[in-house]
């Protein structure tokens, strides 16, 4: 009898709490607390920059374009985000955003009803990952959701391939 009462008390008299989805696909709206994220696209790069300011990664650069909307009534600070691989190893977003076109930024205070969009930068091995998104709450009460980042290879536009040039015939020697 006691076990039955305890079970009913713990399960809320037979009503189940709604299951919150915590893993999403790219392109889906991801609600986390008062924030709503959308992971728009990814791009792998072997270098960033151009001409005299080339930046080379230790592994490979992964650029992730996201948008984040604050649907709450107060400003929210979004910290640097984290990628996790299949074995659980974490990689924190780089805070050096030099040579990144349209960066998401380092100081990310998003006001009520505001949206911020930009690119995140990671230096990671080629692999599939999960991007851990946060509600920007206090560390003890922070809520998370994850977005699957599948491995797909796209054309690396940052590496210039020389164009072959036909040899120029030499003029005949002068006599």
Instruction: Give rounded-to-5 percent helix, strand, coil for the chain.
Output: 5, 35, 60
Nearest to 147 by CA among 63, 37, 45, 44: 37
CB 143 within 8 A of CB 135: yes
The residue extents of the domains of the chain are 17-149
CA angle 94, 56, 51 (to 5 degrees): 115
Backbone angles phi, psi at 62, to 5 degrees: -120, 120
DSSP string, 52-108: T--B--SS-EEEEEEEEEE-SSS-EE----EEE-TT--EEEPPS--TT-SSB--SS-
pLDDT at 12: 46
pTM of the model: 0.76
Gap between the Cα atoms of 75 and 50, Å rounded: 36
| Cα-trace Rg, the chain | 24
Residue 50: pLDDT band (50, 70, 90) is confident
pLDDT at 138: 86
Query: Which CATH code fits 17-149?
Result: 2.60.40.1240
> Who has greater pLDDT, 75 or 160?
75
pLDDT of residue 39 exceeding 50, the answer is yes
CA 136 vs CA 22, 36, 75, 80, 127: distances in Å = 16, 11, 10, 10, 27
């Amino acid at each position: 009898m006691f076990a039955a009462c305890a079970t009913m008390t713990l399960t809320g008299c037979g009503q189940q709490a709604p299951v919150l989805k915590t893993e999403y696909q790219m392109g889906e709206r991801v609600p986390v607390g008062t924030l709503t994220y959308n992971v728009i696209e990814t791009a792998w790069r072997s270098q960033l920059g151009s001409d005299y300011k080339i930046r080379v990664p230790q592994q490979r650069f992964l650029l992730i374009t996201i948008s984040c909307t604050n649907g709450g009534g107060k400003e929210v600070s979004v910290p640097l985000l984290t990628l996790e691989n299949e074995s659980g190893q974490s990689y924190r977003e780089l805070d050096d955003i030099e040579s990144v076109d349209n960066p998401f930024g380092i100081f990310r205070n998003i006001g009520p009803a505001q949206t911020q969009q930009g690119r995140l930068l990671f230096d990671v091995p080629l692999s599939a990952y999960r991007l851990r998104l946060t509600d920007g709450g206090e560390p003890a009460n922070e809520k998370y959701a994850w977005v699957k980042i599948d491995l797909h290879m796209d054309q690396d536009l940052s590496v210039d391939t020389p164009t072959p040039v036909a040899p120029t015939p030499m003029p005949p020697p002068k006599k």
